[in-house]
Amino acid sequence: MIIVTGAAGFIGSNILADFEAAGRGPLVAVDWFESGEKWRNIGKRRISAFVEPFELPQFLDRNAASIERLVHMGAISATTERDVDRLIKLNINYSVMLWEWCAKHQVPFIYASSAATYGGRESGFADDDRPDSLAALDPLNAYGWSKKATDNIFAMRAAGGAARPPQWVGLKFFNVYGPNEYHKGDMMSVAAKIFDTAAHGEPVRLFKSYRRDIADGEQRRDFVYVKDCTRMVSWFVDHADVSGIFNVGTGRARSFLDIVKSLRLALNTDIAVEFIEMPEAVRGRYQYFTEADMSKASSVGIDFEFNSLESGVRDYVLSHLACDDRYR
């Protein structure tokens, strides 16, 4: 069986969709569902067991002989989280516990890191997993620090010859968009946030730029379609000899206005844009550019073509956002 934590979340639920389509499994979903609509993210999946996160250690021990691999996407993903003790408990120590179980039982381990580990830099996004390089990163918030700290622990153990899983892969996701992100509220992608407004013919709102060398709406990010992220996860499943920490992005920064243009193409309609003031609390720490260095991924043989922003947004709109049932 394959264990997926954060299974009902954005990326986790798309991983389950890919695994099911490929005939992998049985699939075990580990998550908290609470009282919202997050369950719809995996409402179409064939799940062999549902496990509450803090019951997972006992489940792992009971089923150790049957577990093929563990894909750990579960974590606090809000960059606004301020409870550092909670981040240490759920993002760092829980991940370390799973690493140690996988090392003991020799089970491959894939986990979610984040581009937030890079902090406020606007260049030098190389996924160097040497402990000294990881230690030099300077995240902007406690969430990014929790992911950096986890990467540090694993990289130091691997470099120092400590017990480790037969395969361990950390994935630094950049700006991911796509189906099943609807439960994320303010953490949804810009494409998802402005779709309904655009589809109803109303002007969409983007932040103004506060740099003279960058026009309004020309702030750039590496926007990556979730279906490409999950293809990368599946690639590592098929290449169990490859370990390390890897960026997950397109390697090409695009502007927020490019998202609007991509929506225009997908909807075949004009979309007006209004530029609004950025909150004062955000301005001083706002990043105007991110772009994944994908050379390390290429060097290990990941050579499939990622969706362009235009093709990714088109699939998102036509296959999900514009449909009565938006869920994958």
User: Mind listing the pLDDT tens digit for each residue in 207-224?
Assistant: 999 999 999 999 999 999
Write down the residue that tokens 């996924």 correspond to.
Answer: 127
Share of residues in the chain with pLDDT > 90 (%): 89
pLDDT, residue 76, reads 84
User: How far is the first Cα of the chain from the last one, in angstroms, to the nearest whole number?
Assistant: 22
Share of residues in the chain with pLDDT > 70 (%): 100
pLDDT, residue 16, reads 98
Specify the pairing of strand 254-255 against strand 220-221.
antiparallel
pLDDT, residue 81, reads 84
CA dihedral (297, 298, 303, 306) positive or negative = positive
Of 177, 203, 207, 205, nearest to 189 by C-alpha is 177
Contact 146, 183 (CB under 8 A): no
Distance CA 245, CA 228 (A): 17
DSSP 112-180: EEEGGGGTT-SS------SHHHHHT---SSHHHHHHHHHHHHHHHHHHHT----SSEEEEEE-EEE-TT
pLDDT, residue 324, reads 94
Region 41-52 average pLDDT: 97
- 316 a catalytic residue: no
Region 6-15 average pLDDT: 97
Mean pLDDT (the chain, rounded): 95
Q: How confident is the model at residue 283 (pLDDT cuts 50, 70, 90)?
A: confident
> Could you tell me the residue ranges of all domains in the chain?
2-174+226-251+292-306, 175-225+252-291+307-328
pLDDT, residue 34, reads 86
- 118 a catalytic residue: no
Does the pLDDT at position 80 exceed 90? no
**E strands along the chain, which residues?**
2-5, 27-30, 49-51, 69-72, 109-114, 168-173, 175-177, 204-207, 220-221, 223-225, 244-248, 254-255, 273-276
pLDDT, residue 294, reads 97
pLDDT, residue 82, reads 87
Contact 226, 249 (CB under 8 A): no
Which CATH number is correct for 2-174+226-251+292-306, 3.40.50.720, 3.40.47.10, 1.20.120.1730, 3.40.366.10? 3.40.50.720
pLDDT, residue 285, reads 83
Q: Name the burial class of residue 79, with classes exposed (0-12), middle (13-18) and buried (19+) by CB atoms within 10 angstroms of its CB.
A: middle
Does the pLDDT at position 110 exceed 90? yes
pLDDT, residue 122, reads 86
Q: How confident is the model at residue 133 (pLDDT cuts 50, 70, 90)?
A: very high
Region 50-72 average pLDDT: 97
Distance CA 53, CA 307 (A): 33
- Residue from 111, 143, 182, 225 carrying the catalytic annotation: 143
Residue-wise pLDDT for 315-324, tens only, equals: 999 999 999 9
Of 200, 253, 256, 194, nearest to 224 by C-alpha is 253
> Which CATH superfamily is 175-225+252-291+307-328 part of?
UDP-galactose 4-epimerase, domain 1 (3.90.25.10)
pLDDT, residue 121, reads 87
